[in-house]
Amino acid sequence: MRWFLFILFYIFVDIYAFQSIKTITKNQWFYGVYILISLLLLAGIIYEISLRGSEKMMEPPRMYVFGIFLAVFVPKLLLVIFMFGEDIVRFFVGIFMKFSGSEKAFYMPSRRKFVSTVALGIAAIPFASLIYGMVKGKYDYRVLKYALEFEDLPEAFDGYTLTQISDIHSGSFDNHEKVEYAINLVNEQQSDAILFTGDLVNNVADELNNWKELFSTLKARDGVFSVLGNHDYGDYVSWKNRSEQGENLDRLKNSQREMGWQLLLNENKYLERNGEKIALVGVENWGAGGFKKAGDLDKACEGIESSDFKILMSHDPSHWQEKVKTDDRNFHLTLSGHTHGMQFGIEIPGLIKWSPVKYRYKNWAGIYEEFGRYINVNRGFGYLGYPGRVGIWPEITVIQLKKKRNTV
């Protein structure tokens, strides 16, 4: 039933959008190409989601089908808005003409070529943007730097730097050279610690096989630390039994250790410098709204003092909003990812910061502060679903911890 409704909606949008094409040109060959592309896209998306959807596997070829579908269908939705708006105007003009005596019978004026031309011009913007996002945007890495001040930061850690990456989604990558460039960019920051906040794969540990050697080159003075994200557990793919899924997770954990990463599974580690220390706390995934809740703050904090300066790694920012920011143990800085900034939005520093994901997550990209406690939501290193990024670019975050000085 759902596919029947989807096909009806698709056909309605397609026919309506086609009206703008007919207004612009009478070329029958152009009409044929339009109809052929529409049918191929409909067949492709039905095949990928209906026939292969039970596995929910997000492999690069499949993602490109989805990406091309978006690049073509979203502009058509814009065309429908313009055409429908014009039809409303035409309808009321027809009524006015009839009752004013200008016409004996109700007659709707024909569509105007100018409106269709404007509609097609505006629709070309998302089409070009979505194509650019797939070709260039997904590997357009940005280094974002922040300095955060804390009154109770140990003196020895004044100037300590952290590089955060998140949401690698290694099963999506299709360009080793671009990813290698990004890994080199991370190392060039020469931070004291590198922190990875979850979603190393899309679904299965084997996705990491072609990337282990590259990711093992990540180096920092105090080490590379990681936690698990919701995709790392293999919950979005079918397994023969729980044991098979458990073995997959074990392989992923072991792979991280083989890469030299220190995986924190509801546990903590002290980072020490000149006799002083700060606590690095890592929890497993905890997410609101039906996501896995394996994170255990109590277990993760065993052995540390409430007065310790604490950095928490927790994949899903809803954890901070729901549990962490008001916790009496005072987690000074939380590092999360998960949202990807929806891989689509508009960001102009100082002017606008918007993405549709803001309506789902209060904390979705960048630094937020409440009660004197901070969270950084990394926009993600990789991509998932739509194989690209538009306006929300892949991110490498560098955070410098500063001792707040009292000024007179």
- The count of C-alpha atoms lying within 13 angstroms of the C-alpha of 29, restricted to the half-sphere facing its C-beta, is 0
User: Can you say whether residue 41 is alpha, beta or left, with left for phi > 0 and alpha for psi between -120 and 50 degrees?
Assistant: alpha
**Which of the two residues, 139 and 62, has the higher pLDDT score?**
139
Q: Which domain holds residue 355?
A: 141-403
Residue 19 has a pLDDT of 81
> How many domains does the structure of the chain reveal?
2
Residues 112 and 178 in one domain: no
Residues 33 and 181 in one domain: no
Last residue of a domain, one of 135, 167, 182: 135
Residue 156 has a pLDDT of 96
234-247 pLDDT per residue, tens:
999 889 999 999 99
Residues 126 and 152 in one domain: no
Q: Record the pTM.
A: 0.90
Residues 152 and 277 in one domain: yes
Q: Record the tokens describing residue 59, joined without a space.
A: 């492999």
Give a yes or no: residue 214 inside a domain: yes
Residues 170 and 215 in one domain: yes
Residues 282 and 356 in one domain: yes
Closest CA to 385 of 26, 134, 127, 132: 134
Residue 54 has a pLDDT of 44
382-399 pLDDT per residue, tens:
999 999 999 999 999 999
Find which of 21-25, 216-220, 346-350 is predicted with most confidence, using mean pLDDT. Answer: 216-220
d(CA 379, CA 319): 16
288-345 pLDDT per residue, tens:
988 999 999 999 999 999 899 999 999 999 999 999 999 999 999 999 999 999 999 9
Residues 163 and 128 in one domain: no
Give a yes or no: residue 408 inside a domain: no
Amino acid at 163: T
Contact 80, 16 (CB under 8 A): yes
- The count of C-alpha atoms lying within 13 angstroms of the C-alpha of 262, restricted to the half-sphere facing its C-beta, is 19
Residues 366 and 261 in one domain: yes
CATH number at residue 377: 3.60.21.10
Closest CA to 182 of 167, 193, 198: 167
Closest CA to 254 of 196, 294, 295, 208: 208
Amino acid at 124: A
Q: Hey, CA dihedral for 24, 29, 33, 36, is it positive or negative?
A: positive
Q: Name the one residue in this structure whose structure tokens are 């920051």.
A: 189
Give a yes or no: residue 112 inside a domain: yes
Give a yes or no: residue 11 inside a domain: yes
Residues 250 and 208 in one domain: yes
pLDDT at 97 over 90: no
Residues 287 and 259 in one domain: yes
- Separate counts of helices (H) and strands (E) for the chain: 9, 14
- Least confident residue range of 174-183, 285-294, 337-346, 399-408: 399-408
- Decide: residue 125, CB within 10 A, 0-12 exposed, 13-18 middle, 19+ buried: exposed
Q: How far is CA 357 from CA 116, 363, 393, in A?
A: 31, 9, 14
**Which of the two residues, 91 and 225, has the higher pLDDT score?**
225
Contact 351, 121 (CB under 8 A): no
